[in-house]
Structure 1
Amino acid sequence: MSRNAMQWAQRPKFPPTHYVDSRVYTSEEIFREEQEKIFNKVWIIACHESEIPNAYDYRTFRHPGGQNLIIIRGDDNQVRAFYNICPHRGNVILYDPSGNAKRMTCIFHAWSFDCRGNCIDISRGKEGYQDRLSLQDVGLREVRCEVGYGGFVWVNVDDNACTLKEYIGDALSMLEPHMQEPLEVFHYHKAIVNTNYKLWHDTNSEFYHDFMHYFNRITGMLQPGYFDRKYVGYPNGHASVGSMEIKYDKYEGSKDRKVGWPGLAPGGWILIDIFPGMTYNLRTSVLRMDTAIPLGPNKVIIEFRGLGLKRDTPEMRAERIFDHNMIWGPFGRNLHEDLLGVHGQGIAMRDERTDSRWVLHGREENMTIHDEGGMRHYYAEWSRRMGRPAYDPFGDRGIAGKAAAA
């Protein structure tokens, strides 16, 4: 029987922790607050060190908090991050997404900076400033930057935030033994999707959505042990979903894999979500990294990187690329289905008639693979950082005081 408008607006009969108000995905107010209270306070992956292998190599990075950053390798081999803003008149310094710049010169008034952020030249500086301004006074504003956990370059725009090690804690302990060798990005793909960044991370946080993937249904869900994988939640909103061995030979079109991954069982699979929008996904012979960069409440850039071992021979690299593209490439079996799923959610969430809807996170299966405990863990951290409960973010549902009765 269909539901009328009054029934549709009623919350489901679950504890408040088991659903969220759909407005957390669509509200401009919520998004601006997320930028300030979440993205500007946590460690975020900007790129991988292999993308800037040589001195003076750089990448520009749009931080999810809205800032424009430069990630550059110095002449001392150290990777640093700076605001991509000239301290003179606030102009953008580097416009290209990547390149090599021994000298970074602002096009506005030709002020120049070196790879360590020092100002090295002010056009007609003596004539204009005499002795009133020193080069040391106008260097680039540095951002905290660390390289770690697989060679990824992490940034944090909060000078007072905890260290990267403190932020990650034990969340990557299952994966760290498999990331001891230098890695290299061999595939980069970017998708701009009309959806909320949390919907993408939701998809990475639960495997009930494997019903959407034909390939996963026949290579994973039918195998012994699939439903026994356990979610483990870590401080700061991170979570892992255990590990298992995927029997790819169950799929008629699959082929034997000659290239594995150091320390990982053949067909091994480990997935770890890092709050608020990053996912390590090690599967068989490839490490995939997803990073979400929101452009607003209803639009997100999702970056996909495929990584292999830096020491790969051409033959090994070709095998990894084949494995990656068969599952995760733009024309692979899974990626387009995931993007279609979150795009459809984005369409529905933006429909003004759905403002009274709730999104259920109510599956309970003893914290195994189809339990939505990972999502509940995520939104508990989201609520803590935001100072708003995800189930009643505006305090207008009249349910905050009824949690005990739910």
Structure 2
Amino acid sequence: MSSLSSQLTESRMSRNATEWQQRPNFPDTHFVSTDIYTDEQIFRQEQELIFNKVWIIACHESELQNAYDYRTFNHPGGAPLIVVRGEDMKVRSFYNICPHRGNTLLYEPVGNAKRITCIFHAWSFDVKGNCIDISRGKQGYQDRYGCEQAGLREVKTEIGYGGFVWVNVDDQCSSLGEYIGDSMSMLDEQLNMPLEVFHYHKAVVNTNYKLWHDTNSEFYHDYMHYFNRITGMIQPGYFDRKYTGYPNGHASVGSMAIKYDAYEGSKARGVGWPGLAPGGWVLIDIFPGMTFNLRTSVLRMDTAIPLGPNKLLIEFRGLGLKSDTPEERAERIRDHNTIWGPFGRNLHEDLLGVHGQGLAMRDRTDSKWVLHGREENMTIHDEGGMRHFYAEWSRRMGRMAHDPHGKAGTAQAAA
């Protein structure tokens, strides 16, 4: 063997099976076990201890413009919900389940209904959740059971932070304001006006919901986006943006100006957003899977809804101002679709990234780790936002994200 070949062999950078399974030489906070992305038991516990305890965005108020308008929503904790605007114009939410025999009440994703009637036995309910008719009720139940006992199961509902409809299936939960705290303060002015959804689409990806939220929580992955590298990374101020963590696992990223005309074929945006500097960009992550992304002229909202440990439904909404002229709205739609629509520059690249992660982690049999170890003084490529998320995840789950089954603790105790 030549001397050069010998040197290359001795200085190899690959790892054998034993080395691959070694824990990273980082603090426990700087990496996580891939079990938290693949384990069915952990996922079921997440549904119980996280998703069934926190506020989740179900839709936007502009999607329920008229009395009796409704949307169905698959809550990430597992419960199917109905979100409906009453004749009093108040938005309420209920389980989409008939209290008689557990049948689904509404099957269409959107619609308008003054009366909700179960197809199974024709029990009927109004949009306030009251039971208004039990077919052959007196004959079957006499005085033992009636409409007053058969109302729909209501879910706590609040509208806020840009007009989004938030739901919480925990009757003992704190208010939405208490849950959000100061985390949305960077967008107080920008969201303090009526907004309107102009674009909605969804994607189902074979991945874990946390991997999608990871992608929204760190900008090191901007190396995946040519558009972002040109319009953002090489522009002044990009690496100065700071992460700020808030209670309950939320985090924000400081603003900067995006230089759109640096990208060939693009141009500076003609429509801005009130209170946002020209080319401005603000991103706020809300635990456990929602992201407000205001970029120059468009607000994009992502809501991650896990369907299992290895399958994820992501809802994407593009929003503009309700006061937009037709010309302004057309400009916002063009801006949105250039970057974030199904055929834009960025979105399919992000989806491909988390799809690849999902494929690599699925059905694995060896031990692997995901690193969150970058430290850059909590600036844009620091992975502190992800560490902040997993600290909250660990607190709520009663498990450590780096050692969810307590293997390290067991080994140390045995030693």
Which bin holds the TM-score, normalised by the shorter protein?
over 0.9
Q: Deviations over 1:283-312 (max 9, x none)?
A: 010000000000000000001000001111
Structure 1 SS opposite 2:99? coil
Corresponding residue for 1:6? Answer: 18
Residue 41 of structure 1, CA deviation: 0.3
Alignment of 1:212-223 (within 5 A): 212-223=224-235
Q: Deviations over 1:184-229 (max 9, x none)?
A: 0000010000000000000000000000000000000001110000
Question: Are 2:280 and 2:296, in contact at CA under 8 Å, matched by a contact in 1?
Answer: yes
CA distance in 1, matches of 2:165, 2:114: 20
Structure 2 SS opposite 1:287? strand
Corresponding residue for 1:268? Answer: 280
Report the aligned-residue RMSD: 1.1
Residue 351 of structure 1, CA deviation: 4.2
Of 374, 388, 397, the match for 2:399 = 388
Corresponding residue for 2:253? Answer: 241
Question: Are 2:199 and 2:318, in contact at CA under 8 Å, matched by a contact in 1?
Answer: yes
Structure 1 267/52 Cα, relative in aligned 2: closer, same or farther at 3 Å? same
Structure 1 SS opposite 2:408? coil
- Which AA in structure 1 matches 2:387? R
Question: Are 1:245 and 1:268, in contact at CA under 8 Å, matched by a contact in 2?
Answer: yes
CA distance in 2, matches of 1:9, 1:40: 34
Residue 129 of structure 1, CA deviation: 1.9
Residue 80 (str. 1) matches residue 88 (str. 2): no
Residue 133 of structure 1, CA deviation: 2.1
Residue 31 of structure 1, CA deviation: 0.1
Residue 255 of structure 1, CA deviation: 1.9
Of 301, 306, 310, the match for 2:313 = 301
Of 57, 62, 71, the match for 1:50 = 62
Q: Deviations over 1:135-154 (max 9, x none)?
A: 11111010000011000000
Of 342, 350, 354, the match for 1:330 = 342
Alignment of 1:21-36 (within 5 A): 21-36=33-48
Residue 401 of structure 1, CA deviation: 5.6
With structure 2 as the length reference, what TM-score do the two structures score? 0.95
Of 363, 368, 373, the match for 2:379 = 368
With structure 1 as the length reference, what TM-score do the two structures score? 0.97
Decide which structure has the larger Cα Rg and report it.
2
Number of aligned residue pairs: 401
Structure 2 SS opposite 1:178? coil
Of 56, 66, 69, the match for 2:78 = 66
CA distance in 2, matches of 1:176, 1:337: 30
Corresponding residue for 1:348? Answer: 360
Residue 151 (str. 1) matches residue 163 (str. 2): yes
Structure 2 SS opposite 1:294? strand
Q: Deviations over 1:315-365 (max 9, x none)?
A: 111000000000000000000000000000001111424x41110000000
Which range moves more in the overlay, 279-288 or 130-139? 130-139
Corresponding residue for 1:94? Answer: 106
Structure 1 399/204 Cα, relative in aligned 2: closer, same or farther at 3 Å? farther
Corresponding residue for 1:181? Answer: 193
Identical residues among aligned pairs (%) = 79
- Which AA in structure 2 matches 1:138? A
- Which AA in structure 1 matches 2:300? R
Corresponding residue for 1:228? Answer: 240
Structure 2 SS opposite 1:54? coil
Residue 312 (str. 1) matches residue 318 (str. 2): no
CA distance in 2, matches of 1:400, 1:238: 33
CA distance in 2, matches of 1:400, 1:346: 29
- Which AA in structure 1 matches 2:198? F
Residue 134 of structure 1, CA deviation: 2.7
Question: Are 1:392 and 1:400, in contact at CA under 8 Å, matched by a contact in 2?
Answer: no
Residue 357 (str. 1) matches residue 364 (str. 2): no
CA distance in 1, matches of 2:298, 2:233: 20
CA distance in 1, matches of 2:234, 2:193: 33
- Which AA in structure 1 matches 2:273? W
Q: Deviations over 1:75-110 (max 9, x none)?
A: 000000000111111111111111000000000100
CA distance in 2, matches of 1:73, 1:161: 22
- Which AA in structure 1 matches 2:406? G
- Which AA in structure 2 matches 1:392? D
CA distance in 2, matches of 1:370, 1:25: 23
Question: Are 1:392 and 1:399, in contact at CA under 8 Å, matched by a contact in 2?
Answer: no
CA distance in 1, matches of 2:121, 2:249: 45
Structure 2 SS opposite 1:65? coil
Which range moves more in the overlay, 215-224 or 126-135? 126-135
CA distance in 1, matches of 2:392, 2:39: 19
CA distance in 1, matches of 2:410, 2:344: 44
CA distance in 1, matches of 2:412, 2:344: 47
Residue 132 of structure 1, CA deviation: 2.3
Structure 2 SS opposite 1:376? helix
CA distance in 2, matches of 1:122, 1:400: 60
CA distance in 2, matches of 1:148, 1:74: 18
Alignment of 1:287-298 (within 5 A): 287-298=299-310
